[in-house]
């Protein structure tokens, strides 16, 4: 593949019938060869490998056309995988007349844009208008990918892991180059970078960024980091399900809306490999897919989404609410929504903190999936996030063990997920077990486990430990501004009233609205709110409800 062709948008077609496959490719090339490159595959597995290669090269994929009836992996299953790799690619299903029910299912399950009935002769009437519409839709929503982005680092470098995880969670295409391989050595030498100073990020123009901070990574990857205005109607802090829901509803209802996020949209939910109990997705949806769709939807309505912006404080100046960032800049708005979610609590085991990003990970680090091949992976936690991660890593690892402090999973994990866990042969659960110590020099090598009932301890070999324990709100930056409970969760609405009395500094002639904090016009939604229901659907609902209450507040201001 020539360097020039790497950046030409691809039309990918997959059909297990060679004659049909050739016919589709022939008709597509006849019409689109001057502007697109047509890639043909004859099985879902072959097509996935092709998509993976295109992803690594940074080649954009505009549309995917998949036959429904294929052995081993049908068209719907393939399109689900394709969505993970290229969520913005338009999707069409090739079906026979008898398969219209399958097409309807595909629309519900994998958000298929269109279905085509075979045969499609003449293509001028039945094929090209559909593909034209797909390409027009892709062009309208497509964000130009950064071409040729390369990341050089060491396998067990915590700093390299941070950048890899940031790029992956933000769906930014890049190519990973190990620092000890010939190409990595050449890039380090060309940049004048000491191998100890990785990661090295090389942009499309050949610019070298040594040990970049996330703001630099975001800028190089083409992510928006700077607000276009100084003042907004609604400023949302945190891009999890609650924040994204508010951004969609706020922008769609005409509010000048900006969302600021420290790392990547989706929050903890965005790291889930499969959410199966969210309304409208009977076969489940990955957290990344859900977050990406919501982000695109918010942007389409006019919301700004800023990444790599760490908040440092909240100021109240009359009717103005100002959020200060860690870099000294700020942005102001008439109303603010706090939807910062929670972060995983640190594992209280000696050695664990020293190995973060080098075998010990908080949350489901999908970038480590391939490295888990043939390994024994340990997952700490007994709630849904831990179960979803364990199911995901069981597809890659030789064995996965869930470590649970409690006596069973029933108290904290959904029943559907428990059934999945119990049905996987290479996945087991150890109850009443905790990690007492993590061992390793440059990376995790072993764990000391303790039985909380018998007191027995044992040392086990381990290269990967994924931690999902507890939930701590990120609200220290709100000290002295809004009321919080003893654990740091933000109090709202009725919980602010003490014996029927309003908060001391409350000057409105009304009680706080249900999702309103102790500061008028500052609302709270999602996991960061005291007494909230820790579910994706409830977070999205609270985000939407907060917009309604913000409208009411703004109308009265």
**How far, in Å, CA of 458 to CA of 448, rounded?**
6
Structure tokens at 514: 């249900």
**How far, in Å, CA of 294 to CA of 151, rounded?**
28
Report pLDDT digits (tens) over 412-442: 999 999 999 999 999 999 999 999 999 999 9
Mean pLDDT across 144-149: 60
pLDDT at 330 over 80: yes
| Confidence at 3, pLDDT banded by 50, 70, 90 | very low
Taking every pair of C-alpha atoms in the chain, what is the biggest distance, in angstroms? 77
**How far, in Å, CA of 294 to CA of 275, rounded?**
15
| Confidence at 363, pLDDT banded by 50, 70, 90 | confident
| Confidence at 286, pLDDT banded by 50, 70, 90 | confident
CB 475, CB 340: distance < 8 Å: yes
How high is the pLDDT of residue 1? Answer: 47
What does the mean pLDDT of the chain come to?
A: 90
Please report which helix (H) or strand (E) contains residue 430, including its range. strand 427-430
In angstroms, what is the C-alpha Rg of the chain? 25
CB 326, CB 124: distance < 8 Å: no
How high is the pLDDT of residue 391? Answer: 93
Mean pLDDT across 375-380: 96
Domains and CATH numbers, the chain: 5-141 (3.40.50.2300), 150-220 (3.40.30.10), 231-343+472-556 (3.50.50.60), 353-467 (3.50.50.60)
Among 249-258, 378-387, 494-503, where is mean pLDDT lowest? 494-503
| Confidence at 467, pLDDT banded by 50, 70, 90 | very high
Q: For residue 18, what are the CA distances in angstroms to 50, 93, 236?
A: 17, 17, 51
Structure tokens at 383: 């709630």
Which span out of 63-77, 78-92, 198-212 was modeled with the highest average pLDDT?
A: 198-212
């Amino acid at each position: 593949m020539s360097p020039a062709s790497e950046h030409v948008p691809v039309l990918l077609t997959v059909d297990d019938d060679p004659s049909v496959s050739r016919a589709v490719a022939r008709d597509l090339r006849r019409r689109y060869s001057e502007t697109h490159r047509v890639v043909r595959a004859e099985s879902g597995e072959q097509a996935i490998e092709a998509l993976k290669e295109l992803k690594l090269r940074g080649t954009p994929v505009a549309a995917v056309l998949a036959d429904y009836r294929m052995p081993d992996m049908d068209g719907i299953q393939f399109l689900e995988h394709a969505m993970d790799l290229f969520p913005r690619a338009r999707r069409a299903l090739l079906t026979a007349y008898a398969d219209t029910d399958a097409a309807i299912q595909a629309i519900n399950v994998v958000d298929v844009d269109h279905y085509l009935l075979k045969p499609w002769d003449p293509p001028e009437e039945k094929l090209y208008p559909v593909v034209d519409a797909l390409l027009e839709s892709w062009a309208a929503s497509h964000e130009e990918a950064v071409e040729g982005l390369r990341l050089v680092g060491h396998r067990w470098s915590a700093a390299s892991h941070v950048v890899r995880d940031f790029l992956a969670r933000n769906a930014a295409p890049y190519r990973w180059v190990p620092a000890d391989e010939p190409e990595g050595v050449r890039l380090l030498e060309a940049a004048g970078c000491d191998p100890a100073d990785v990661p090295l990020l090389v942009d499309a123009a050949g610019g070298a960024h040594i040990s970049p901070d996330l703001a630099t990574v975001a800028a190089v990857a083409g992510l928006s980091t700077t607000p276009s205005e100084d003042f907004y109607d609604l400023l949302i802090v945190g891009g999890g399900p609650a924040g994204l829901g508010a951004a969609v509803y706020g922008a769609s209802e005409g509010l000048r809306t900006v969302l600021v996020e420290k790392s990547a949209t989706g929050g903890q939910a965005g790291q889930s490999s499969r959410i199966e109990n969210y309304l409208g997705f009977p076969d489940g949806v990955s957290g990344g897919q859900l977050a990406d769709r919501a982000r695109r939807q918010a942007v389409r309505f006019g919301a700004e989404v800023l990444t790599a912006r760490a908040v440092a404080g909240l100021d109240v100046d009359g009717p103005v609410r100002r959020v200060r960032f860690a870099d000294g800049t700020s942005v102001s708005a008439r109303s603010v929504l706090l939807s910062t979610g929670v972060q995983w609590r640190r594992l209280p085991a000696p050695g664990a903190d020293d190995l973060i990003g080098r075998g010990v990970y908080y949350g489901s680090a999908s970038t480590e999936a391939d490295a888990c091949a043939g390994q024994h992976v340990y997952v700490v936690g007994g709630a849904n996030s831990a179960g979803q991660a364990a199911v995901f890593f069981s597809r890659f690892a030789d064995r996965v063990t869930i470590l649970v402090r409690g006596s069973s999973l029933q108290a904290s994990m959904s029943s559907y997920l428990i059934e999945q866990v119990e049905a996987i042969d290479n996945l087991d659960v150890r109850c009443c077990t905790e990690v007492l110590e993590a061992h390793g020099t440059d990376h995790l090598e072993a764990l000391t486990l303790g039985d909380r009932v018998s007191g027995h301890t044992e040392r086990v070999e381990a290269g990967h430990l994924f931690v999902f324990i507890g939930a701590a709100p990120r609200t220290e930056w709100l000290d002295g501004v809004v009321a919080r409970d003893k654990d740091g969760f933000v109090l709202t609405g009725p919980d602010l009233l003490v014996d029927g009395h309003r908060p001391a500094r409350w000057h409105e002639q009304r009680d706080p609205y249900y999702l309103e904090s102790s500061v008028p016009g500052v609302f709270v939604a999602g996991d960061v709110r005291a007494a909230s229901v820790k579910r994706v659907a409830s977070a999205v609902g609270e985000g939407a409800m907060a917009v309604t209450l913000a409208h009411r507040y703004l109308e009265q201001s």
